[in-house]
Amino acid sequence: MTDSAATPLPSTRPVALVTGPTSGLGTAFARLLAERGHDLVLVARDEARLHALADELAGAYGVRAEIIAADLASEAGRDAVSERLAKGVDVLVNNAGFLTDGEFWDADLDLLRGQLGVNVTAVLELTHAALPPMRAAGRGTIVNVASVSGLFTGPASTYSASKAWVVKFSEGLAHKVAADGVRMVALCPGFMDTEFHPRGGQDVSGVPKHLWLDTAEVARTALEDAEKGRVVSIPGRRYRLWTTLDRLKPRRLVWRA
């Protein structure tokens, strides 16, 4: 892990920190926030891709970016990002996360621990670091990227459980920090055409076309819902309908593998 920008950028623009910005939804968040006039703190493991994205955003929007190359599965990586957050940002997007495929009992235990480190522990620790300066300033926005799978019971038990934690954590905290002027939203998207599923070894070739969401629209929906004070953001009418119906059905009818 390396931190190539320990000192916050001197700027009059608001600053947004995005984890996992080098592909997919994270890139969409970085571009949208840059378009809205935010300087950025970009956090991921791949330093080369971070620099490429920073150069792209600087050229397209005239923003500046700090680069933190860090593995959020590690304590050292989370500490480096938390140290930067303690200096203050206006927006935090906890987007980094990953999926593991296969049966739980066959999975590598270290990989599962790493998944919890990124999907759960990083969200907890980074939010904990970001909130004190946000509350002191009387403003701020935190987007915790969960998943629609965190609202259902499904075959990816450890991933779904990690995202269910993100939803409940955000719901419980959002109402308390709202009194301090801080907005918090749990974003629960469905399928998106990104590197996420291939990296997790998940075959999604049979997913109908109408279930795929556009990453730019998902990011936009999350920020708009945060501005409206919504605590759980579910992009896409079909997904909103299905999650509503799922809450109404008897538990004995919950899907079983």
> What does the pLDDT look like over 21-49, one tens digit per residue?
999 999 999 999 999 999 999 999 999 99
CATH number at residue 110: 3.40.50.720
In terms of pLDDT, which residue wins out, 207 or 161? 161
Residue 160 has pLDDT above 70, yes or no: yes
Domain span at 166: 2-253
Q: How far apart are CA 110 and CA 103, in angstroms?
A: 15
Q: Is 159 a catalytic residue?
A: yes
**Residue 2 pLDDT:** 39
Q: How far apart are CA 151 and CA 153, in angstroms?
A: 7
pTM for this prediction: 0.86
Average pLDDT over every residue of 183-205: 69
**Residue 140 pLDDT:** 98
Average pLDDT over every residue of 206-229: 85
Average pLDDT, the chain: 86
**Residue 196 pLDDT:** 55
Candidates 29, 159, 165, 196; catalytic one: 159
**Residue 245 pLDDT:** 59
Question: What digits encode the pLDDT tens for the residues 77-116?
Answer: 999 999 999 999 999 999 999 888 778 898 899 999 999 9
**Residue 29 pLDDT:** 98
**Residue 240 pLDDT:** 73
Residue 237 has pLDDT above 90, yes or no: no
Average pLDDT over every residue of 151-174: 87
Total number of domains constituting the chain: 1
Residue 6 has pLDDT above 50, yes or no: no
Angle between helices 75-85 and 122-137 (to 10 degrees): 10
